[in-house]
Chains A and B, each alone.
Chain A
Amino acid sequence: MAQEFRLPDLGEGLTEAELVSWSVEVGQSVELNQVIAEVETAKALVELPSPYAGVVEELLIPAGATVPVGTPLIRIATDSASDTPPTRTPVLVGYGPEAAAQSRRARPRAAATPEDTAPPEPVRPDASPAARLAARERGIDLTVVPGTGPSGAVTRHDVEEYAGSAAPRVAAGPSERETRTPVRGVRKQTAAAMVRSAFTAPHVTEFVTVDVTRSVELLERLRGRREFEGLSVTPLSIAAKAMIVALREHPDLNASWDEEHQEIVTKHYVDLGIAVATPRGLVVPHVREAQSLSLLELCRAITELTAIARSGKADPAQFTGGTISLTNVGVFGVDTGTPIINPGESAIVCLGSVSQRPWVHEGELAVRWVTTLSVSFDHRVVDGEQGSKFLSSVAAMLHDPVALLAQL
């Protein structure tokens, strides 16, 4: 005999759910509790286990449809009459035995037309339920809406804004008050690389503000030493060294995403990219095998590389194939930034300006050298935990270079 399974209330008073995908097909046999579909409610994405053993006779709604609680989802021909549960409608607990009354109450909704509904998205942006509804009603993909809510969550207002701004505008004509510059060379490459990275690697950026007075003092002393003469010995040098050391414990950030093979490639060497502003635009030459360099060698390599890059004579190979990068917006007097990862890498650290600020030091207000570090990482490869641990480890070494020394 055939049994219908109706959409249950999956969580304390929900009235509808979206059937994201079916995991079974017509004609397939299913066991009791075998997962038959994935369903998304306002609260959670959950798997539906089959309440019957038997053969799937019909899928009664298409994937992508949003349906009210109580809607029949699937018909299953059960093996024998003996293993069938009582023939009544499955009780939707919390609503009493009247499942029909429930479906009568549910609002009929436009979104129930399955063709309109977008296919399931792998990434689920943070958004309020109201925003999700608004986006669904307008057919807007939530992942492209900039969020202004808590932790960047998309609000209903954001969706409305976005819907408004997406309306076609009258294009402004050319005028003498504007200059048109053809996009080529470094600008063109930068643009392409940034677009590729920003829209393939889901970026997460984290920040930490840290007292680096001891590093500043250390730099003073290093600069006074003979062997460092003529080299650029700056907070960037120590930050670079600290990154390289931190990567030993947190190698996940020194990796790349191989889309084709669906693999994460973790590098056991560090080719450190240093973002350099040049007259022709931004270039990112790399210090090869940076993991094997002493602080002195690292300072020398960075000094040489930036000089070559600025001169415009850098070997193109030095622009590609790094494993992680460092950018220093602090040189422009800026506190921090949210850098975009170099394509092919998984993380980039950004060093803000190192400046004297009021700071609580040993329980008292004091004037200290303070900087803000940030790191952007590719969330396909790195999770918040590793990213955060890496960043705090770099910060700890800048705060107390003895911690760095201990690991050399």
Chain B
Amino acid sequence: MVDKIAYPVQLLQPDGRRVLRPEYTNLVRDIGPDELRALYEDLVVTRRIDVEATALQRQGELGLWAPMLGQEAAQVGSARALRPDDYAFVSYREHAVAYCRGVDPAEMTRMWRGTAHSGWDPHAVKVTNPAIVVGSQGLHATGYAMGAHLDGAEIATIAYFGDGATSQGDIAEALGFSMSFNAPVVFFCQNNQWAISEPVHLQSPVPIAQRAAGYGMPAVRVDGNDVLAVLAVTRQATQRAREGSGPTFIEAITYRMGPHTTSDDPTRYRSSAETAEWKARDPIDRMHRLLDWEGLLDGAFLTRVRTTADEIAARLRSGAVGAPTPPPLSVFDHVYASEHPLLEEERAEYAAYLAAVTDTEEALS
């Protein structure tokens, strides 16, 4: 992997036709008809998860949601390259990664609803809870990878972050440390063209992947809306990590088709022409066309995919709407593993405040 900066790896064109690039095509040789269909189902289901959660936020059931509409292939392709022991360190947008790692859809929205500190047990599925502090997960992934390296564990970690995060010190430090300690980590940057309202060219005048060169790290750019290409490059990078060859930087070029979060209005800072241009590169349409070319689409299959998506959406909805509201004081329960005097003091103060509020409300009513 030397100079793949200029030409992003692509195995599937927007019209669904395959591109032959032997060194990468070989990495996905085992992906036959069943696997292609499974990838397509992942894409459809994860989009459905995203759409359902966005609707739940609009219905007042979630405080916030960060839609990943348009980034399904980047997430599914990379997550499907992982092995069960690999560990994914994610930002707030990796819902498809969570799904592919086996997070229960009923648990996906807990943090966004504010009913739990963390929606799922990270160690059970080897994917962290969403990191809101931009870039922090890069350091967590590096630290975990360094530990794995010291333990002699043959695993990879993967850090997911955005183009904007590459301007954070945390990512710079993670890149530096991982090279110094040969940590088995893959830096997976989803360049979705925007960091809220800042376009990517304000982050870097050169391709984001080029930044890796300054650390001496191999880097590759990939068409992030091409699930096969993403799968291929991530397999290669995780394999390098597992066999002790150190970190790799992947820049997946994709597009955030929705708002930054449900609180954002992207029409204020980007043109409809731009959105239309990326719509033509939709990752699901592309996969649909490939299956069509290769004669793998039939009514029964499409119905099955739709039913699966419907079921998962219903599970997500009932998991969110039915989630019990935790008692207010439980917010102190999981801050530290053991008791802490300052926390005890705060807990007591808050309990007194809650009691006072209840009294006032009763007096008023």
Residues of A within 8 A of B (CB): 5-12, 33, 43-51, 85-86, 90-94, 96-97, 101, 383-386
Complex Cα spacing A46 to B263, Å: 9
Q: Report chain B residues within 8 Å CB of A7.
A: 60
Q: Does B1 touch A at the CB level, under 8 Å? A: no
Kindly list chain B residues whose C-beta atoms are within 8 Å of the C-beta of A10.
57-58, 262-263
Bound complex: CA A234 to CA B61 (Å): 66
> Other than the known A12-B263, A90-B60, A385-B273, what 12 A-B pairs have Cβ atoms closer than 8 Å?
A5-B59, A9-B60, A10-B263, A44-B259, A44-B263, A44-B265, A47-B58, A49-B58, A90-B59, A93-B61, A93-B62, A383-B273
> In the assembled complex, which residues on chain B have CB atoms less than 8 Å from the CB atom of A96?
325, 328
Interface residues of B in 262-315 (CB under 8 A from A): 262-265, 267, 271-274
CA distance A51 to B52 in the complex (A): 11
**A33→B52 contact, CB < 8 A:** yes
Contact residue among A11, A49, A93, A97 (Cβ-Cβ distance under 8 Å from B263): A11
**Given A86-B321, A383-B272, A384-B271; A91-B264 close (CB under 8 Å):** no
Question: Given the complex, which residues of A lie within 8 Å of B267, measured CB to CB?
Answer: 45
**What's the dominant secondary structure at chain A's contact region?**
loop
A sample of 30 inter-chain contacts (CB < 8 A) reads A5-B59, A6-B60, A7-B60, A8-B58, A10-B262, A10-B263, A12-B63, A12-B64, A12-B263, A33-B55, A44-B259, A44-B263, A45-B267, A47-B58, A50-B59, A51-B59, A51-B61, A86-B321, A86-B322, A90-B59, A90-B61, A91-B60, A93-B114, A94-B114, A97-B325, A383-B271, A383-B273, A385-B271, A385-B273, A385-B274
* Interface presence of B113 (CB below 8 A): yes
Least CB distance from B200 to A in Å reads 15
Q: Which residues of A contact B51 (CB under 8 A)?
A: 33
User: Which residues of the partner chain B approach A12 to less than 8 Å between Cβ atoms?
Assistant: 63-64, 263
CB-CB under 8 A from B325, the residues of chain A are 91, 96-97
A49 to B61, CA, bound (A): 12
Cα separation A364 to B81 with both chains bound (whole Å): 52
Q: How many residues of B contact A (CB 8 A)?
A: 28
Query: What are the 8 closest A-B residue pairs judged by CB atoms, nearest first?
Result: A8-B60, A44-B265, A11-B263, A93-B63, A51-B59, A49-B55, A383-B271, A90-B60
Q: How far is the CA of A51 from the CA of B264 in the complex (A)?
A: 21
List the A side residues contacting B272 at CB < 8 Å: 383
Q: Find chain B residues with CB under 8 A from A43 CB.
A: 263-265
Which residues of A have CB within 8 Å of B64? 11-12
- Cα–Cα distance between A51 and B265 once the two chains are bound (Å): 22
Q: Least Cβ distance of A255 to chain B in Å?
A: 14
Chain B residues within an 8 Å CB radius of A47? 58
The distance in angstroms between the C-alpha atoms of A97 and B328, with both chains bound, is 11
Shortest beta-carbon distance, A187 to chain B, in Å?
38
Q: In this complex, what residue of A is CB-closest to B266? A: A44
Q: Give the shortest distance, in Å, between A215 (CB) and chain B (any CB).
A: 28
A11 to B54, CA, bound (A): 12
Inter-chain contact A94/B63, CB cutoff 8 Å: yes
CB A101 to nearest CB in B, in angstroms, measures 8
Contacts of A94 in B (CB 8 A): 63, 114
A38 to chain B, nearest CB (A): 11
Q: How far is the CA of A150 from the CA of B322 in the complex (A)?
A: 46
Contacts of B60 in A (CB 8 A): 6-9, 51, 90-93
Task: Tell me, rounded to whole Å, the shortest Cβ–Cβ distance linking B234 to chain A.
Answer: 32
Report chain A residues within 8 Å CB of B264: 43-44
Nearest B residue to A382 via CB reads: B273
B194 to chain A, nearest CB (A): 14
Residues of A within 8 Å of B58, CB to CB, are: 8, 10, 46-49
Residue of A nearest to B318 (CB): A85
